Amino acid sequence: MSRSVQSPRVINIEDLRRAAKRRLPRVVFDYIDGGAEGELTLRANCRAFEAVTFRPRCAVATPACDLRTTVLGIPLSMPLILAPVGSSRLMYPRGEEAAARAAGAAGIAYALSTLSGCRLEDVAAASKGVVWYQLYLVGGRDCALSAIERARAAGFSALVVTIDTPVAGLRERDMRNGVKELLSRKLVGMLPFVNQLLTKPRWLMSFLVDGGLMKFPNVAIPGQGPMLYADVTTALEQSMVSWDDLGWIREAWSGPIVIKGVHTGDDACRAVDAGADALVVSNHGGRQLDGVAPTLRMLPEVLASVGDRIEVLLDGGIRRGSDIVKALCFGARAVLAGRAYAYGQPPHPDTQSGGNDKCHHAHPHAYAMRPDHHLGMIYQSQNVPERKKCENYTRDA
């Protein structure tokens, strides 16, 4: 496989981030890029990866790397899953469908957020690969039950239950940018903030052509229809998931359940006892409770508690293929990444071909996240036993 990346402007995720900053209105960019309060955890997630160094073995032939793995018994082309990112359709037209399509073409799984702009049926139809449905209980139990049924009928293969949103994260950038006011659709309140939309006319035009969306089609509130964007903060606060909820969710969904938002070994045990099939060590990318420990640092504790009983995934701070390798070295089965792909623009459907050069050209960020180069450098042999591979890192901090 050729390693050439043809666009000189976008080589890595940070390049994509800068491009997103130019392309999107501040309020949309900051929604993706930002975290809660002082963004300590957001930064700490990335720093935890930076603090890990490799101990490579040299002078050993590395003919090729096989990145294939399975998660919940499902084969993936590499240990990466696109994390649920709310409102991807604000970032580019039909954003969730585009991301699911790209993931399917690359042979990896895509997790669709409850708070998405595209209908879950359309997202499942857009992907030729594995799709998971992330569940919030916004809109109440009946609303969640109907989404679960729709997800089952549409072919979603796992349910991701997010447990770290008892309240909405205190996102200071959103407050400064007037998210609440812009969503209120009350002209006087909106006025001080509309300029950030008007100064990005290309984005604004594509947003309007895409329907100017302000509703969540997968949150169908009985008797009312799709939930409005303006109601999302209150709805999230009224709809926290508790361990007791896992009981009725388990009854309603017979497939695998992934619990996302586990921070500690204690909660990992509770998740397993509650019937989880896999869990994600996640602090919501630093978007919920600021000041919690970075996920990579918590991974050993979680693995020590439940690593022999359940598959443990991780998200938060994944920006490079080498970060994926580090998470695997620490014992994660696979990782989820959200911002890394949300910064990007999806490739045009016609140019997707599942990992060849054309695909790299159209979708260089998918290439930037491939861990095979790093794996090749570090393992230096395809036949290194699993246990030995894990010794090949040094934790500095």
Closest approach of ligand GLV to the CB of residue 354, in Å: 29
Task: Kindly state whether residue 284 participates in binding ligand GLV, applying the rule CB under 6 A.
Answer: yes
- Residue 365 is a catalytic residue: no
Residue of the chain from 200, 287, 339, 365 that contacts ligand GLV (CB under 6 A): 287
Candidate list 263, 284, 360, 374, residue with the active-site label: 284
Residue of the chain from 25, 86, 129, 317 that contacts ligand GLV (CB under 6 A): 86
3-state secondary structure of 31: helix
What is the torsional sign of CA 13, 18, 19, 20?
positive
Residue closer to ligand GLV (CB basis): 86 or 355: 86
Closest approach of ligand GLV to the CB of residue 201, in Å: 26
Q: Report how far residue 101's alpha carbon sits from residue 105's, in angstroms, rounded to the nearest whole number.
A: 6
The C-alpha angle 123, 124, 126, rounded to 5 degrees, equals 65
Residue closer to ligand GLV (CB basis): 164 or 267: 164
Residue closer to ligand GLV (CB basis): 344 or 371: 344
Task: Kindly state whether residue 260 participates in binding ligand GLV, applying the rule CB under 6 A.
Answer: no
Closest approach of ligand GLV to the CB of residue 236, in Å: 8
Q: Report how far residue 306's alpha carbon sits from residue 287's, in angstroms, rounded to the nearest whole number.
A: 25
Q: Which residues pair with 109 in a beta bridge?
A: 81
Residue closer to ligand GLV (CB basis): 135 or 325: 135
- Within 298-337, which residues bind ligand GLV (CB under 6 A)? none
User: How does DSSP assign 241-290, residue by residue?
Assistant: --TTHHHHHHHH--S-EEEEEE-SHHHHHHHHHTT-SEEEE--GGGTSST
The residue nearest ligand GLV at its CB is 86
Closest approach of ligand GLV to the CB of residue 97, in Å: 18
- Contact predicate 56/375, CB 8 Å: no
- Within 89-128, which residues bind ligand GLV (CB under 6 A)? 115
Residue closer to ligand GLV (CB basis): 127 or 162: 162
Task: Kindly state whether residue 139 participates in binding ligand GLV, applying the rule CB under 6 A.
Answer: no
Q: Report how far residue 208's alpha carbon sits from residue 32's, in angstroms, rounded to the nearest whole number.
A: 20
Closest approach of ligand GLV to the CB of residue 257, in Å: 18
3-state SS of the chain: helix, strand, coil percent to 5?
45, 15, 40
What is the torsional sign of CA 79, 84, 89, 90?
negative
Q: Look up tokens 């043809």; give the residue.
A: 6
Catalytic positions, written as ranges? 284
Residues that bind ligand GLV (CB under 6 A): 86, 115, 284, 287
